[in-house]
Amino acid sequence: MTEQRTDGAAGTTSADYSAFYFDGHLGPPYTYEEPHWKQFFGAVADAVVATFAPARTYDAGCAIGLFVRALLERGVDARGGDISEFAVAGAPDGLRERLEVRDLTRPFTERYDLVSCIEVLEHMSPPDAQRAIGNLCAAADTLLISSTPDDFTEPTHINVRTPASWAADFARHGFFRRTDVDASFLSPWAVVYEKAELTPVELVARYEALVSPLSREVVAKRQALLETQRDLDRLQQTGGPEREELAQQVHDLQAAVELAERERAEVTADRDRVVDDLVELRDGGDHADQLVRLGLVDELIGLRAELTQARLRSENAYADAQVQVDAINVDLASVHADLHHSRLQEQQLRAELDRLHAESVRQLSELRASATWKFGRLVMAPVAVPRRFRRRR
């Protein structure tokens, strides 16, 4: 809701800052219990106390008084006022007595060590904002001011202006930025204005002390950004061979996995044949078969040694594959750090390598577990002996 003024400017009224406004326009729920606002205003209050050590403060446009409460908790005689009757009326006992419904176009009757005005001026029409600035300057010699320079989407932001524009208005009342105080603890655009009688020379020196380091910082950061871009370009140009080498390693690992799969299939087939032959041997049950079975025991003892060697070879092959996978992972990590713009491709490659590694470990594990059946190839020859005995009888 806006109020049509006789001077042609549109301004907001108390009705514009109802429960609906505080529920939907300020991010997290704007309540006394919300941890976000308690932490935020607590940190701002800590910075204010540490920087200015004020005895009495006034928060102009205090809303429901969260900043006033935070200062009170830190021993400051804090008060506040807001145009919203809803906001002031909802304050709890102990805080309500320190808040008032106030239109900032009305002069203050008392003075304070510090007056804060946080995200308020952009809600006022240009003529009202000028009157409010005059009243703020009359109420204290130190002002903490924050007014968003670029939030045009909020419906009640009817007077969004640049920090330089606000600074000119405060300068007309003899208030200038304190260049030795960084007010970013409140917002990136927050400013501390202080009443001072400065000559043009002093004013230029004060602002030059602020602007010069910032200008050098901007130049240095631009140069660093340029060098970073150049480094990324060089890495992009040299990254091709490294990716090809990794691709070759992946191909080799895939070939090793395929070979392991073929060997496993062969061992499985041998195992099935040995099982069939052993069943046939067991079912024969005659004396000659018993003698042959006893002979096989000696051969099995010898096979155990061979199986041990086969197991060692399998474990060594697994260890070699593990080393190869670890080396690939190290190379991938290096490429990931060097080629920032290739991050997505590296992540996809890492996922594929992890899958191949897991599959390789599983296949090798199965191969090692079934290796004991390799003696079936050696058992097949003795099995033919009892068959010849039966034919001779």
Same-domain pairing of 257 and 169: no
Q: What is the pLDDT of residue 183?
A: 94
User: Across-strand partners of 142?
Assistant: 194
Strands (E), the chain: 2-4, 10-12, 56-60, 77-82, 99-101, 114-118, 142-146, 175-177, 191-195
Domains: count for the chain: 2
Nearest by Cα to 37 from 26, 50, 48: 26
CA-wise closest residue to 90 among 23, 182, 185: 23
Residue 206 near residue 179, CB atoms below 8 Å: yes
Whole-angstrom distance, CA of residue 293 vs CA of residue 287: 10
Strands of the sheet containing 175-177, edge to edge, are: 99-101, 77-82, 56-60, 114-118, 142-146, 191-195, 175-177
Residue reference for tokens 């097949």: 380
Partners of 78 in beta bridges:
57
pLDDT, position 1 = 29
Same-domain pairing of 255 and 180:
no
Residue 361: the pLDDT is: 55
In this prediction, residue 13 carries a pLDDT of 77
Asked whether residue 206 is assigned to any structural domain, the reply reads no
Whether 20 and 151 map to the same domain: the answer is yes
315 and 377, same domain (yes or no): yes
Q: Are residues 319 and 383 in the same domain?
A: yes
Same domain for 172 and 249, yes or no, is no
Looking at the fold, whether 110 and 192 belong to one and the same domain comes out as yes
pLDDT along the chain (393 residues), means of 10: 44 73 72 91 97 98 95 97 92 94 95 97 95 98 96 89 93 93 94 90 78 76 79 69 70 75 69 59 56 56 61 68 70 61 59 63 54 47 51 52
pLDDT the model gives residue 118: 96
Report DSSP state, residue 150.
S
- Residue 234 located in a structural domain: no
Assess if residue 98 is contained within a domain.
yes
Query: Does residue 65 belong to any structural domain of this protein?
Result: yes
What would you report as the CA-atom Rg of the chain, rounded to the nearest whole angstrom?
Answer: 41
- Return the pLDDT at 105: 95
Please indicate, yes or no, whether residues 170 and 246 belong to a single structural domain of this protein: no
Are 150 and 274 part of one and the same domain? no
Confidence (pLDDT) at 3: 37
- Residues linked to residue 112 through DSSP beta bridges, in sequence order: 140
- CATH of residue 97's domain is 3.40.50.150
- What SS3 class is residue 325? helix
What range does the domain containing 178 cover? 2-197
For residue 218, tell me if it sits in a domain: no
- Same structural domain for residues 160 and 286? no
- 137 belongs to a structural domain: yes
The CA-based dihedral angle spanning residues 195, 197, 203, 205, taken in that order and rounded to the nearest 10 degrees: -100
